[in-house]
């Protein structure tokens, strides 16, 4: 006999996560966090510091604790209201790990073998990569679907993982369609197909040293990225040293073709100032890079310094940050636990 559960229609809900690894940079801000802030005006949002994803590569425990507080501080400093939205750390809601295991049994090895991020991160030493790094996308699917989230703001690098999440949701719904119906859901859709929210002014911010590589926490060169906690001097030095080519900035957008470094700097300027590339090139096109770079320094310092200052103020009081995470975790558990009960019922697990 099946256990009776009530399955409700989807609530529009945003979920996204950031790993507490290394220093947060401008790519994390423009590709993800800045958009998290905007979405809270229109959506119920759950923002997660994904500490379990972080340990897919070796982490120093003290550093992981520090970085978890720093990402939490960045969310708040950027403008996310922890009273209205849920901010928590992943490891405190057991359903993430539990649902990830279920999804490990739903996803096919062939699907995982196509994931380019694993190939890039494992590199040539694939045999020595952790099993967790390989299974990273099924944990990410669990993060999202545990809350039956309908929309996921991420940078472009996460597009493939989002597609896998949709495939897992679809296969789960298909494999258990009869059971889901028998349990009382009108349609056979238990999990939603979450929409990736990738569009935005800067879905892929590139390295300041190489316009063909994404800005990344793990890049060995500090000069490749602007960290959210960089002071004005560091921001100015990094932008002045940013790689460019010998040509002046073009006056038309077409002139950026084949010039990835120039295009990246214009994209960053546009995302920080909410201006279009056309508008920026109308003002700076034909002039020297040094003039444009100075304008970018001023804009970056004005945009990032208040966030960095507020982050420093917040992390100086770790007990308050931990309290915010604890409260967010309790609220996240309250959403996740009924979902896990339903999932267990769908699977046929006897529950005590």
Q: Active-site residues: which are they?
A: 121, 214, 217
The answer to whether 158 contacts ligand AQP (rule: CB under 6 A) is yes
Does residue 204 interact with ligand AQP by CB under 6 A?
yes
- Tokens representing residue 51 in the block: 């500490």
- Contact segment (CB under 6 A) with ligand AQP among 101-109, 155-163, 184-192, 243-251 equals 155-163
Chain mean position to CA 264: 20
Looking at beta carbons only, is 172 or 269 nearer to ligand AQP?
Answer: 269
Among 7, 31, 140, 164, binds ligand AQP (CB under 6 A): 31
Q: What is the spatial distance between Cα 235 and Cα 183, in angstroms, rounded to a whole number? A: 57
Q: How many residues bind ligand AQP (CB under 6 A)?
A: 19
| Residue, CB closest to ligand AQP | 31
216 forms part of the interface with ligand AQP (CB under 6 A): yes
Does residue number 159 form part of the binding site for ligand AQP (CB under 6 A)? no
Considering the complex, state which of residue 222 and residue 283 has its C-beta at the smaller distance from ligand AQP: 222
Binding flag, residue 96, ligand AQP (CB under 6 A): no
Give the interface segment with ligand AQP, choosing from 174-182, 215-223, 238-246, 286-294 (CB under 6 A).
215-223
CB of 273 to ligand AQP, least distance (A): 17
Contact range with ligand AQP by CB under 6 A, out of 87-95, 203-211, 290-298, 304-312? 203-211
Q: Is 154 in the site for ligand AQP (CB under 6 A)?
A: yes
Among residues 15, 28, 144, 311, the one that binds ligand AQP under rule CB under 6 A: 28
Interface stretch with ligand AQP, choices 139-147, 185-193, 216-224, 321-329 (CB under 6 A): 216-224
Min. distance of Cβ 159 from ligand AQP in angstroms? 9
Interface with ligand AQP (CB under 6 A)? 18-19, 21, 27-28, 31-32, 154-155, 157-158, 203-205, 214-218
């Amino acid at each position: 006999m099946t256990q009776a559960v009530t399955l409700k229609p989807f609530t529009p809900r945003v979920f996204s996560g950031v790993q507490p690894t290394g220093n947060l940079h401008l790519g994390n801000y423009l590709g993800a966090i800045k958009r998290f802030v905007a979405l809270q005006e229109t959506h119920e949002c759950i923002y997660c510091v994904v500490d379990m994803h972080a340990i897919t590569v070796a982490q120093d425990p003290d550093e992981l604790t520090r970085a978890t507080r720093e990402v939490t501080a960045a969310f708040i400093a950027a403008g996310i209201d922890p009273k209205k939205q849920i901010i928590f750390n992943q490891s405190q809601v057991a359903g993430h790990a539990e649902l990830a295991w279920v999804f490990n049994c739903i996803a096919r090895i062939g699907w995982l073998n196509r994931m380019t991020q694993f190939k890039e991160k494992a590199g040539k030493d694939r045999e020595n990569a952790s099993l967790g790094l390989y299974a990273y996308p099924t944990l990410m699917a669990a993060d999202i679907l545990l809350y039956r989230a309908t929309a996921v703001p991420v940078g472009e690098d996460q597009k493939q993982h989002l597609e896998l999440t949709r495939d897992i949701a679809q296969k789960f719904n298909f494999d258990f369609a009869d059971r889901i119906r028998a349990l009382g859901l009108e349609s056979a859709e238990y999990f939603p197909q979450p929409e990736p929210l990738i569009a935005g002014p800067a879905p892929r911010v590139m390295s300041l040293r190489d316009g063909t590589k994404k800005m990344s926490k793990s890049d060995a060169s500090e000069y490749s990225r602007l960290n959210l906690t960089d002071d004005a001097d560091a921001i100015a030095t990094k932008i002045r040293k940013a790689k460019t080519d010998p040509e002046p900035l073009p006056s038309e957008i077409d002139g950026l073709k084949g010039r990835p470094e120039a295009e990246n700097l214009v994209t960053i300027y546009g995302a920080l100032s909410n201006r279009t590339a056309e508008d920026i090139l109308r003002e700076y096109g034909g002039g020297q890079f040094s003039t444009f770079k100075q304008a970018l320094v001023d804009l970056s310092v004005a945009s990032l310094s208040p966030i960095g200052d507020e982050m420093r103020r917040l992390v100086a009081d770790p007990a308050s940050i931990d309290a915010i995470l604890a409260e967010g975790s309790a609220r996240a558990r309250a959403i996740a636990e009924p979902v896990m009960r339903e999932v267990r019922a769908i699977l046929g697990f006897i529950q005590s």
